[in-house]
Structure 1
Amino acid sequence: MVNKLFSFSASATVAAMLISFLPQAVLAQEAPSRAETASGNAAFMKKSDIMTPATGAGLTMRNPKADAAEAAKDVSKVVKEAISRSQKFVYHFTKPENGSGETIVLLHGSGGNETSLVPFAQEVWPRATLLGIRGRVLQEGRTRWYARITPVKFDQKDVRNEADAFVSFLTKLSEDDQIDLSRTTFVGYSNGANLLAATMILHPDLVKKAVLMRSMPVLDQTPAANLSKAKVLVVTGADDKMYAPFAPALSDLLRTSGAKVDARVVKAGHMIGAKDVSLVTAWLSGQGPDGAPAMSQAVTAKVKDKTDKLKALPEAQEPATQSEQALEQSKK
């Protein structure tokens, strides 16, 4: 019996010595970089190593306030380290035969890309040129237009920086005669609509006509802006429990800035579908010669069939991110 115990103890000691010489485990590995092109424009994502700190490590229960402050710092660190950003906007033009000359700029929701809103837009603007643009931010695996801290709290500096970059990008396209900003309608959904609304406040001369679906105000401080030449349709989902309560504040902000705002509510959640197509089409039909024509019954039926199958990616219903989970832990 003694021999067996000695043998087991010796084996355990040798195993421990061998393990101590093994290389340390890889904590995070950078995903292979990928070059993506759109309309001849290459965009390379700049990846950073994502090293997630163990939130709460080293905290004690002796000083809850100090513990909470330390946890908040960890949350901020998680948010910063979980973000990468491309240097250029990935974009894609969809041009129909016998086009109307109008351009529709599409800004996707969280997790979407430059083609996410194309099926929706093609039903409303069948003869327009569609310009789908992808947000430059990649946060915890999801494409976005700016960094967020929680679903309803956003990185203010990043919102402003990305709005500036978006305007510079569109201005360059206009200077290169790729789009005519005087005949352009902007369409944003969720995260994209939020960036679009912020851009209108920060750069009031750019957008003259906009459709904002499932949106909310994201700027904590808003400068004075003259939007007297802008026409805006704000579409809110009645069952969008997280974002619907914020929609009136956005409409009021735009109206206070001088925009002509038509705020509507559809019987839907955060997802967009046939009701949104019908509402946007009806609104555009009263906006003058550049508005969309009224749809026939046959086209309406086709729209319903297609839009019911749209797989828009909702920002409000996405699972809690790592940083949000850390924030919740800091409150406990």
Structure 2
Amino acid sequence: MDSFFQAGTNNQLVVAFHGTGGNEYQLLTTVAELFPAASLLSFRGPVSEGAQRRFFAPLDNGQLDRRDFEQHVSAFLTKDWPSLEKDYQEVIFIGYSNGANFILGLLEQEPTIADTVILLHPSRLVYSFNRSSDTTILLTVGAQDTMSLPGEVLKLSEELKVVFPNTTLLFTDSGHELSEQEIVAIQKQLGGN
């Protein structure tokens, strides 16, 4: 998977996954606001839907193609992730929309892959979490979001709390976009990293 790396000045590594139609640079500003001293490793989704990049095949009638999804998750875990330098004190995963959903697939197979996971506007697809973890998970959703429905994200957060007890859901007044209100709420929740 293609990626972009930028060295930081502390012992944090932020691993970023963009939303549909984004690229490896989509979350640079967001990560810089949240973790200004961290190193950043940002991936570009390997699946193209026209000119738009994704991390797994589009939904079919609102349903996840589990076979395709698991193939992409497994490929990342067996090819991309093991080859990376991970000599960091803290690893943080952040994903927006399609990227957030991809991270949920990673957590299915490797629930301790990161110390902190930030899921920006994820969807409640069919996930299966079998092992618990003390990983901190933070989900965000906008009250006006028509793609990541607030009620469904609330249900997803409750499902995650069963195996990830350190799960928090943040609501904003926005739609399916990253807002300054959202960034401020995340900073406050994380204690001003």
- Asked if Structure 1 and Structure 2 have the same fold, meaning a TM-score greater than 0.5 normalized by the shorter chain, the answer is yes
Q: Residue 197 of structure 1: SS of its match in structure 2?
A: helix
Cα offsets for 1:11-37 (capped at 9, x unmatched): xxxxxxxxxxxxxxxxxxxxxxxxxxx
State the match for 2:86 in structure 1: 179
1:107–1:192 CA contact under 8 A, matched in 2:
yes
Distance (Å, rounded) in 1 between the aligned partners of 2:122 and 2:61? 12
After superposition, where does 1:191-206 map in structure 2 within 5 Å? 191-206=98-113
State the match for 1:188 in structure 2: 95
Distance (Å, rounded) in 1 between the aligned partners of 2:177 and 2:61? 16
Q: Whose Rg is larger?
A: 1
Identity %: 25
Q: Residue 154 of structure 1: SS of its match in structure 2?
A: coil
Match of 1:280 among 164, 179, 186: 186
Structure 1 or 2: more helix by fraction? 1
Amino acid at match of 1:247: V
State the match for 1:157 in structure 2: 67
- 1:91 paired with 2:3, answer yes
Distance (Å, rounded) in 1 between the aligned partners of 2:5 and 2:61? 30
- 1:212 paired with 2:124, answer no
State the match for 2:34 in structure 1: 124
> Where in structure 1 do 4 or more consecutive aligned residues deviate above 6 Å?
none
Cα offsets for 1:57-111 (capped at 9, x unmatched): xxxxxxxxxxxxxxxxxxxxxxxxxxxxxxxx10011224xx0121111110001
For structure 2, list consecutive stretches of 5 or more residues without a partner in the other structure.
Answer: none
Cα offsets for 1:229-267 (capped at 9, x unmatched): 211111111100231232022112211113311111011
Structure 1 or 2: more strand by fraction? 2
Match of 1:226 among 132, 146, 163: 132
Amino acid at match of 1:236: V
After superposition, where does 1:251-270 map in structure 2 within 5 Å? 251-270=157-176
Distance (Å, rounded) in 2 between the aligned partners of 1:125 and 1:181? 14
1:147–1:155 CA contact under 8 A, matched in 2:
yes
Bigger relative CO (Cα 8 Å, ≥ 6 apart): 2
Q: Residue 146 of structure 1: SS of its match in structure 2?
A: coil
| Count of paired positions | 191
- Cα RMSD (Å): 1.7
